């Protein structure tokens, strides 16, 4: 799927209306560009192959 199709402007406008996001045209344009960037980055992250990789231990409890 092309990046342009990941978040059509019409869908973004509907979401802003449903969530009560208001602002001027320039503000909403910038917010739309940032939201599309998140969609594009999420697509890139989903394509990373992590099969067979164990996660690092994030928390090691103290051993007193």
59 found inside a domain: no
pLDDT in tens, the chain (64 residues): 454 457 899 999 999 999 999 999 999 999 999 999 998 899 889 999 989 888 877 777 888 7
35 found inside a domain: yes
Task: Name which of 27, 42, 35 is nearest 9 in CA terms.
Answer: 35
User: Are residues 13 and 49 in contact, defined by beta-carbon separation less than 8 angstroms?
Assistant: no
SS3 54: coil
**Number of domains observed in the structure of the chain:** 1
Q: Give the global pTM.
A: 0.63
56 found inside a domain: no
Residue 47 is encoded by which pair of tokens? Answer: 């394509």
Residue 31 is encoded by which pair of tokens? Answer: 């917010």
């Amino acid at each position: 799927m092309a990046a342009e199709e990941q978040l059509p402007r019409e869908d973004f406008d509907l979401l802003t209306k449903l969530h009560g996001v208001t602002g001027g045209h320039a503000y909403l344009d910038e917010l739309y560009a940032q939201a599309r960037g998140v969609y594009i980055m999420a697509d890139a992250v989903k394509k990373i192959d992590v099969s067979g990789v164990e996660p690092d231990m994030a928390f090691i409890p103290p051993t007193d």
